Amino acid sequence: MTKAPHLLKGSMTYDTAMETGPDRALRHGDGSSSGNRMVEGPAGRKPRKALSRRNILIYGTLIVVCLYYLLPLYVMIVTSLKGMPEIRLGNIFAPPVEVTFQPWVKAWAEACTGLNCDGLSRGFFNSVKILIPSVILSIAIASVNGYALANWRFKGSETFFAILIVGAFIPYQVMIYPIVIMLREIGLYGSLTGLVIVHTIFGMPILTLLFRNYFASVPQELFKAARVDGAGFWAIYFQIMVPMSLPIFVVAMILQVTGIWNDFLFGVIYTKPDLYPMTVQLNNIVNSTQGVKEYNVNMAATILTGLVPLTIYFISGKLFVRGIAAGAVKG
Amino acid sequence: MEPSISIKNLSLSFGSLDVLKDLNLDVGQGEFLVLLGSSGCGKSTLLNCIAGLLDVTGGQIFIGGRNVTWAEPSQRGIGMVFQSYALYPQMTVAGNLSFGLKNAGLPKAEIEERVNRAAKVLQIEPLLSRKPAALSGGQRQRAAIGRALVRDANVFLFDEPLSNLDAKLRADLRVEIKQLHQKLSNTMIYVTHDQIEAMTLADRIAIMRGGQILQLASPNEIYNRPASKYVAEFIGSPTMNFFEGDLEETGGTYRFTTGGKTFSLDGYAFQDGPPAAGAAWFGIRPEHMVSGAEAEASPVRFDGHVELVEPLGSDTLVRFTIGDRTLWVRMDGQATVRHGDAISVGFDPARANLFDKTTESRL
């Protein structure tokens, strides 16, 4: 609808006289000059207004949404840099008068949860110890699952896949207690290994679906060519499929890292206080009922906990886009 | 001589769907066989069975005298070229060519030698260090052929290798494939739906339909003496003109009556001796019809009106109507005919094709 005015303006008046003027050929809208060959009227690139109704709507919405999401972050950062006396004044939007990093230090190394008084650092390292094996294990198993389901149709593979997908829709809560019993029986209850196994299993349905669909979109002929070339199950997986699938591995990694890092339920159920992941420990710091509520420490602790998924998004977001772009070139 | 590939009573079904039905086929050593048919006729399925990429439901496959019915694709002594090239995108052309040889555990020196030899034959030596993404369509397909070449296989399988290329490249590569066959003289099986590729490349063409081979013969035979009406319609563009009518016999001479017109079939060579009279199809190719002065001299003549003209440069295709019937005739490229012109066409019944009305097989 923004197009109509421009189109009509120039073309209403035609000037049939041919003038020779090399630099006039590209101009239009000026009644006296007509081009070398071109008739007067719209020519060349279509002019676009910078301040059109469409742009105002789009950028206006974007700005409002940005503010909506950035404001809480701003309050958190500002509060975490203030001392308690300043916070008690109540101006939550005001920037800190006296910047202090003490709340950050306390959140990381000194805050007490139960008997431990070494802050979030313990939880951080627990979370890392949970995260790395869980992510590697779940992606490794799920990618092989997806590859087998997509390319090596075996008897009952469709049924197997259907069961796996149904598994994705069963609420976790139903399985909590049975898993507690199972872990206890094999002697892994309350250990990090047990939690890693739980995370790996619960990541399986969605990751397998992800990988299966991706591998299914890889041209079937590539797989056939590799078979003619004498490559077996693992050779095709490692030498053909995996090198082609960087984008989907990055997607799976983002999903798993954020999912496992942010997990609270499994962490609190399947481990014990010494091994609590960062999220559980954050909760224990923020919700401690004794003493004064130290808002600045709570804010710092929360930001610290959210830092890992945030970093992952920033780093792999770029890689992710690049991976997709590289994969888009038809090979 | 023992056939290079022998297929005995092959059948393949997906559930209740029979894709190949009790199919028998022998391909001679060094023969270029083209499997031709419209989509869904089972030609690619047959090729995949020969390659071992599909497990057969029944029957046997022999390659070089060896029963390979249960063998893995890599153990069958075949090289295969695919429609989408199927080059491994993350490997260079050299990597693509040597992948199969590495899997076979060949010594490094021999791999290099074979890759270089194949690259030389296909003139892709300057491309060896490039990735497939940096190649044009024709170069990619050449690299894909190279991957089949390095295997030193006795049998090459092509699955519509030229279908993804533009018309010019397709013609060029078609010539190259033919030259390659003349140079290497391996057995080649080539699947296509393009009749020009089939006619130009094949020693023999197998026309397939519904999982069965309708006719297996030389291109010349398929074109001039199609075994059934389906084959006659499938081969040739524009398609053969058909007249529906009756075949009559009086004292050893045959006559054909169609649309109130009767003409003698003198000179027509019947397939299996003199047939019984009855309803039949009379088919004549557009290029076997003549017009103008030549038509006057033809044994059979029709008058009609030009409905459509398609100038191709070398030829001019003319669609014309006689009564309510539409026919095609191929005329000289210099012919000047226009829509609405009166036209007189004639043909010699000796060049025609007669098919039984009910069985549609050649008379």
How remote is the C-alpha of A243 from its chain's centroid?
Answer: 22
- B161 interface with A at CB cutoff 8 Å: no
Amino acid at A252: A
pLDDT attached to residue A18: 45
Query: Residues B195, B289: one domain?
Result: no
ipTM above 0.90, yes or no: no
Of B182, B198, B227, the one marking the end of a domain is: B227
Mutate one of B90, B131, B189 to test the A interface: name it (highest A CB count within 10 A).
B90
Q: Which two tokens stand for residue A152?
A: 């090596």
Query: Residues B89, B133: one domain?
Result: yes
- B70 interface with A at CB cutoff 8 Å: no
| Residue A106 included in any domain | no
Query: Residues A306, A160: one domain?
Result: yes
Q: Is the dihedral of CA B250, B253, B258, B260 positive or negative?
A: negative
Residues B4, B150, B170, B73, Cα dihedral to 10°: 50
- A328 interface with B at CB cutoff 8 Å: no
Query: Residues B223, B346: one domain?
Result: no
d(Cα B238, Cα B62) in Å, to the nearest integer? Answer: 38
Query: Residues A16, A89: one domain?
Result: no
Q: Which of A221, A239, A244 sits opposite B86 (nearest CB)?
A: A221
pLDDT attached to residue B335: 81
Query: Residues A220, A292: one domain?
Result: yes
Q: A–B: how many Cβ contacts below 8 A?
A: 71
| Residue A68 included in any domain | yes
| Residue A177 included in any domain | yes
| Cβ neighbours for A210, distance < 8 A, ≥ 6 positions apart | A142, A146, A248, A251, A252, A255
| Residue A105 included in any domain | no
Task: Give the CATH number, domain containing residue B263.
Answer: 2.40.50.140
Q: Which residues of A touch B93 (CB under 8 A)?
A: none
CA distance B173 to chain A (A): 20
| Residue A112 included in any domain | no
Of B176, B204, B227, the one marking the end of a domain is: B227
CA distance B8 to chain A (A): 22
Q: What is the CA radius of gyration of chain A?
A: 30
d(Cα A141, Cα B358) in Å, to the nearest integer? Answer: 61
User: What is the total count of domains within chain A?
Assistant: 3
Q: Which of A221, A231, A239 sits opposite B82 (nearest CB)?
A: A221
d(Cα B37, Cα B105) in Å, to the nearest integer? Answer: 39
Question: Tens-digit pLDDT profile for chain A (331 aa)?
Answer: 344 444 444 444 444 444 444 444 444 444 444 456 778 888 888 888 878 888 899 999 999 999 999 999 999 999 999 988 888 888 888 888 888 999 999 899 888 777 777 888 889 999 999 999 999 999 999 999 999 999 988 888 889 888 888 888 888 888 899 999 999 999 999 899 999 999 999 999 989 988 998 898 888 999 999 999 999 999 999 999 999 888 889 888 888 998 999 999 999 999 988 889 999 999 988 887 677 788 899 999 999 999 988 888 888 777 666 655 544 443 3
pLDDT attached to residue B108: 94
What mean pLDDT is reported for chain B?
Answer: 91
H helical segments located in B191-345: 195-201, 219-224, 229-234, 293-297
**Is the N-terminal amide bond of A171 cis, ω within 30° of 0?**
no
pLDDT attached to residue A4: 43
Amino acid at A89: L
Query: Residues A42, A186: one domain?
Result: no
Query: Residues A257, A163: one domain?
Result: yes
Q: Which residues of B touch A219 (CB under 8 A)?
A: 84, 86
d(Cα A79, Cα A104) in Å, to the nearest integer? Answer: 11
Query: Residues A165, A314: one domain?
Result: yes
Q: Which two tokens stand for residue A141?
A: 């198993």
Q: Which two tokens stand for residue A34?
A: 């007509």
Mutate one of B14, B48, B53, B115 to test the A interface: name it (highest A CB count within 10 A).
B53
**Is B284:B329 a contact under the CB 8 Å cutoff?**
no
The percentage of residues in chain B with a pLDDT greater than 90, rounded to a whole number, is 61
| Residue A115 included in any domain | no
pLDDT attached to residue A330: 38
pLDDT attached to residue B262: 86
Q: Tens of pLDDT along B151-200? A: 888 899 999 999 888 889 999 999 999 999 999 889 999 999 999 999 99
| Residue A261 included in any domain | yes
Residue of B nearest to A153 (CA): B54
Q: Which residues of B touch A224 (CB under 8 A)?
A: 48, 51, 53, 73, 80, 82, 86
Q: Which stretches does DSSP call E strand in B160-275?
A: 187-192, 204-209, 212-217, 241-250, 253-258, 261-264
Query: Residues B219, B246: one domain?
Result: no
**Is B328:B240 a contact under the CB 8 Å cutoff?**
no
Query: Residues B274, B308: one domain?
Result: yes
* B58 vs A291, higher pLDDT: B58
Query: Residues A29, A93: one domain?
Result: no
Residues 80..119 of B with a Cβ closer than 8 Å to A: which? 80, 82-84, 86-90, 99-100, 103-104
Q: Which residues of A touch B78 (CB under 8 A)?
A: 228
- B324 interface with A at CB cutoff 8 Å: no
Q: Which residues of A touch B79 (CB under 8 A)?
A: 228
| Contact across the interface for A222 and B88, Cβ inside 8 Å | yes
| Residue B45 included in any domain | yes
| Contact across the interface for A244 and B89, Cβ inside 8 Å | yes
Of B227, B253, B275, the one marking the end of a domain is: B227
Q: Tens of pLDDT along B72-112? A: 999 999 999 999 889 999 999 999 999 999 999 999 999 99
Query: Residues A6, A85: one domain?
Result: no
Mutate one of A155, A229, A238 to test the B interface: name it (highest B CB count within 10 A).
A229
Query: Residues B64, B203: one domain?
Result: yes
Query: Residues A93, A11: one domain?
Result: no
CA nearest B231: which of B362, B121, B141, B56? B362
Q: CA-based angle A280:A281:A282, to the nearest 5?
A: 90
Q: Tens of pLDDT along B297-317? A: 888 888 889 999 999 989 999
| Contact across the interface for B103 and A331, Cβ inside 8 Å | no
pLDDT attached to residue B93: 94
- A240 interface with B at CB cutoff 8 Å: yes
pLDDT attached to residue A323: 52
pLDDT attached to residue B130: 93
| Residue B299 included in any domain | yes
| Residue A300 included in any domain | yes
Query: Residues B14, B108: one domain?
Result: yes
**Is A252:A135 a contact under the CB 8 Å cutoff?**
no
Task: Give the CATH number, domain containing residue B74.
Answer: 3.40.50.300
Query: Residues A43, A76: one domain?
Result: no
Q: Is the dihedral of CA A252, A254, A260, A265 positive or negative?
A: negative
| Contact across the interface for A225 and B82, Cβ inside 8 Å | yes
User: Does the pLDDT at position B114 exceed 90?
Assistant: yes
Query: Residues B209, B257: one domain?
Result: no
Q: Which residues of A touch B74 (CB under 8 A)?
A: 227-231
Query: Residues B270, B351: one domain?
Result: yes
Expressed as residue numbers, the domain containing A13 is 1-48
**Is the N-terminal amide bond of B275 cis, ω within 30° of 0?**
no
Q: Which of B72, B86, B133 sits opposite A222 (nearest CB)?
A: B86
Query: Residues A154, A299: one domain?
Result: yes
pLDDT attached to residue B30: 92
pLDDT attached to residue B190: 95
C-alpha distances in Å from residue A134, one per residue of A58, A314, B61: 41, 21, 48
pLDDT attached to residue A322: 61
Query: Residues B89, B208: one domain?
Result: yes
d(Cα A120, Cα A174) in Å, to the nearest integer? Answer: 31
Query: Residues A302, A257: one domain?
Result: yes
Query: Residues B33, B173: one domain?
Result: yes
| Residue B152 included in any domain | yes
| Contact across the interface for A221 and B84, Cβ inside 8 Å | yes
| Residue B233 included in any domain | no
| Contact across the interface for B72 and A231, Cβ inside 8 Å | no
* A7 vs B233, higher pLDDT: B233
Q: Which two tokens stand for residue A49?
A: 């207004």
**Is B343:B302 a contact under the CB 8 Å cutoff?**
no
User: What is the total count of domains within chain B?
Assistant: 2
Place of tokens 């081009």: A35
**Is A302:B105 a contact under the CB 8 Å cutoff?**
no
pLDDT attached to residue A280: 92
| Contact across the interface for A243 and B48, Cβ inside 8 Å | no
Of A48, A70, A86, the one marking the end of a domain is: A48
CA nearest A245: which of A210, A224, A215? A215
| Residue B361 included in any domain | no
Residue of A nearest to B86 (CA): A222
| Residue B203 included in any domain | yes
Query: Residues B173, B93: one domain?
Result: yes
Expressed as residue numbers, the domain containing B297 is 241-356
| Residue B235 included in any domain | no
Residue of B nearest to A326 (CA): B133
